[in-house]
Amino acid sequence: MTGPADTLSLARTLDRCTVLGPGVRAVVWVQGCPLRCKGCVAAETLPFEGGTPVAVPELAAHLAALTDVEGVTLSGGEPFAQAEALAALLDAVRERRPGFSAMAYSGFRHEALRRGTPAQQALLDRLDLLVDGPYVATRHAPLRWRGSANQRLLALTDRYAALVAQIADEDDTSAGVEVSMGADGSFSWAGVPPVPGFRETLEARLEARGFVPRTDRTQKGRRTP
């Protein structure tokens, strides 16, 4: 279930995002997930084939140079299917940026990952935040950074522990989504949809107005790193 340590297979990256974790964060969506949650909002990331291979040192250098972001969120796809390379990625970024925070999504529960492979445990050890568990459509809920009520927001270090407690006590509401429109008429979006069917509705409405989904895995004219 884990790939080589020096290469990642990516679906997409985003340099700045404010709806997938605390503050302004980069996002890395890996390609491939062994689960098949009904209603998964990222169906194009599920096959393990077709991702963009990216060298870990190259991506680490790119992330470390994003001086206005406080960390990275790992999504997918299933990040723990490429745990060894993602752990190496975080180590390489933190050689340059020791305070760079890390959050990850997983379709597996935290307890299962703790009993997982050494690489999965190593990735867990490098995370500040984990959103765990599969998406369950029948339990869809507009929660902070999660799509269904079974998913937990877990502080694995002290970095965001107070924020997680505050969210649980006072403010566990959807962070919404971000939509970006390109000058060429393309669009992309990021975030956890607050309502079922959001993606289909958004894409249908934008496509009806002549916009086309961005599918070339590029961002701001550059190839995905």
At its nearest, how many Å lie between ligand SF4 and the CB of residue 95? 29
Q: Residue 39 Cβ, how far from ligand SF4 at the closest point, in Å?
A: 8
d(CA 225, CA 218): 9
In this structure, the number of other CB atoms found within 10 A of the CB of residue 178 comes to: 15
Q: Which is nearer to ligand SF4, 100 or 108 (CB)?
A: 108
Residue among 93 and 124 whose Cβ is closer to ligand SF4: 124
Query: Residue 21 or residue 76: which is nearer to ligand SF4 going by CB?
Result: 76
Query: Of all residues in this chain, which one has the CB nearest to ligand SF4 in the complex?
Result: 107
d(Cα 87, Cα 24) in Å, to the nearest integer? Answer: 21
* Cα–Cα distance for residue pair 20/42, rounded to 1 Å: 14
Residues 6+ away with beta carbon under 8 Å from 200: none
Torsion sign across C-alpha atoms 20, 92, 109, 49: positive
Q: How far is the CB of 108 from ligand SF4 (least distance, A)?
A: 8
Give 51 or 107: the residue with its C-beta nearer to ligand SF4: 107
Q: How many CA atoms lie within 13 A of 1 on its CB side?
A: 16
- The CB-of-33 to ligand SF4 minimum distance in angstroms stands at 3
Report in angstroms how near the CB of residue 13 gets to ligand SF4 at its nearest.
Answer: 16
> 35 or 212: whose CB is closer to ligand SF4?
35
Minimum CB–partner distance for residue 81 and ligand SF4 (Å)? 9
Closer by beta carbon to ligand SF4, 1 or else 64: 1
Rounded CA gap, 205 and 203, in Å? 5
Quick one: CA torsion of 4, 117, 11, 196, rounded to 10 degrees? 170
Q: Which residues bind ligand SF4 (CB under 6 A)?
A: 33, 35-37, 40, 42, 46, 76-78, 107, 134-135
Beta carbons of 179 and 207 less than 8 angstroms apart: no
Residue among 68, 54, 60, 59 nearest 16 (CA): 68
